[in-house]
Structure 1
Amino acid sequence: MSESDPADSGDGPATEPVTHPGPPGKRQDLRNETDEEFSAFYRSTIRPLVAFLINQGAAVHVAADIAQDTMTSAYRRWNELRTPRPWVYKVASRALVRRFASTEEEPVGEIPEPTSLLARPDAIEEWETRHDTLPMLRSLPPRQRQVLAWTLAGFTPGDIAEHLGLPSDTVRANLLKARRAAANYLKKRGEEEQ
């Protein structure tokens, strides 16, 4: 699978990371270097990736699961990826769309187990209410929410158009509508607080 087509990443059989040719000692040195590069990428990217998915409407535990699965796929393909940051955002975004399309949300009685991304799963609701932009983001139509989430993650409208396969005008129009809705939301909330 090429970097430009991550549509089914994570769905196929597990594969080992690419091995390096050469003598065993040299292979281990290259493997250690690759692991260090990926580790630095993981640490700098995982939390913003989870936030990006939450901004698109994912529940915190769903966002954490998708982000972890995406990073696993990125590790397996690490030596093939020329631009890993956009790749993981694209793969995670597509995984979220598939999750929305394939399942209905059902309330559960059990709280998810703690992970490094969710230290206190019982505090999810508290976290969501503290981030007062989430209700505004969730009120937007899906395409506006998606474009705004990519923007909040630091991508330009041109980048977004390229990664989502949309015309630039469509991205810009949806971003403009999302920004107007956000401004109206903040204005209305400000008036209510007075």
Structure 2
Amino acid sequence: MVDETDLPHGTGQVAVAPPVPQDFSDAYRREMPLLTRFVMKHGASPQEAADAAQEAFAAAYPQWSGIRFPARWLRTVAARAYFRARLREDLPGELPERRDHSLPTDIQLGEQEREVYEALAQLPSRQRQVMAWFYDHYTPAEIAEELGITQEAVRQNLHRARATLKARLSRRGGSDDRA
């Protein structure tokens, strides 16, 4: 049975939602866990990261066919969503920050990976941003373009972050072969 609200006015035809593009569905399955981890590298809890990743995919859906570099676009939008949410949480008069550290069902962290996320969370914001992009295999030139900073600034932040991570992780007995 067709609800009259589903009918375009004057056409007598049923309005049908456009099908989800196959590449969008594939990208969602492939990128959602990676995108969630990317946002976690910015200091988000697993749930905050999953929310930001979901928001990025929701924003991408209506314009999917026009997005030239989807993985990069999603990372930019998800990081911005996370930072906007953090800004809202930090406003005076808001509810205290909720830190739910339960993991979404498709994100499982090993002990070493958990230590890396904890060490990343202690870095200054810009170093965390640069490392998040770097860990997702972006070049200093691509990172500079996305963050609106120079390649030299990217390299300096990478150098400082690696040194800090190496020191922190070696004190804990962990190792990070990308740091």
What TM-score results when the alignment is normalised by the length of structure 2?
A: 0.75
| Match of residue 144 from structure 2 | 161
- CA RMSD in angstroms comes to 3.0
Match of 1:58, SS state, is coil
Match of 1:48, as an amino acid? L
> Aligned pair 1:185/2:171, yes or no?
no
Residues 64 and 36 of structure 1: is their aligned pair in 2 closer, same or farther, counting only changes over 3 Å? same
Supply the distance in 1 between the matched residues of 2:173 and 2:110 (Cα, whole angstroms). 19
Match of 1:168, as an amino acid? Q
Task: Describe how 1:17-166 pairs up with structure 2 within 5 A.
Answer: 32=19, 35-104=21-90, 106=96, 118-119=104-105, 131-166=114-149
String of CA shifts for 1:56-97, please: whole Å, max 9, x gaps.
Answer: 101111111110111011111112111111111111111112
Q: What is the Cα deviation at residue 102 of structure 1? A: 2.0
Higher relative contact order (CA 8 A, sep 6+): 1
* Identical-residue share of aligned pairs (%): 34
Residues 188 and 93 of structure 1: is their aligned pair in 2 closer, same or farther, counting only changes over 3 Å? same
Supply the distance in 1 between the matched residues of 2:48 and 2:64 (Cα, whole angstroms). 24
Match of 2:124, as an amino acid? P
String of CA shifts for 1:6-60, please: whole Å, max 9, x gaps.
Answer: xxxxxxxxxxxxxxxxxxxxxx9xx65x611111111111100000001110111
Q: What is the Cα deviation at residue 108 of structure 1? A: 5.2
Which segments of 5 or more consecutive residues in structure 1 lack a partner in the other structure? 1-27
Supply the distance in 1 between the matched residues of 2:159 and 2:49 (Cα, whole angstroms). 26
The answer on whether the counterparts of 2:42 and 2:132 sit within 8 Å (CA) in structure 1 is: yes
The answer on whether the counterparts of 1:128 and 1:134 sit within 8 Å (CA) in structure 2 is: no
Residues 78 and 108 of structure 1: is their aligned pair in 2 closer, same or farther, counting only changes over 3 Å? closer
Aligned residues: 154
Residues 106 and 128 of structure 1: is their aligned pair in 2 closer, same or farther, counting only changes over 3 Å? farther
| Match of residue 5 from structure 1 | none
The answer on whether the counterparts of 2:39 and 2:78 sit within 8 Å (CA) in structure 1 is: yes
Supply the distance in 2 between the matched residues of 1:107 and 1:85 (Cα, whole angstroms). 29
Match of 1:150, as an amino acid? W
Residues 129 and 187 of structure 1: is their aligned pair in 2 closer, same or farther, counting only changes over 3 Å? closer
The answer on whether the counterparts of 1:54 and 1:63 sit within 8 Å (CA) in structure 2 is: yes
Greater C-alpha radius of gyration: 2
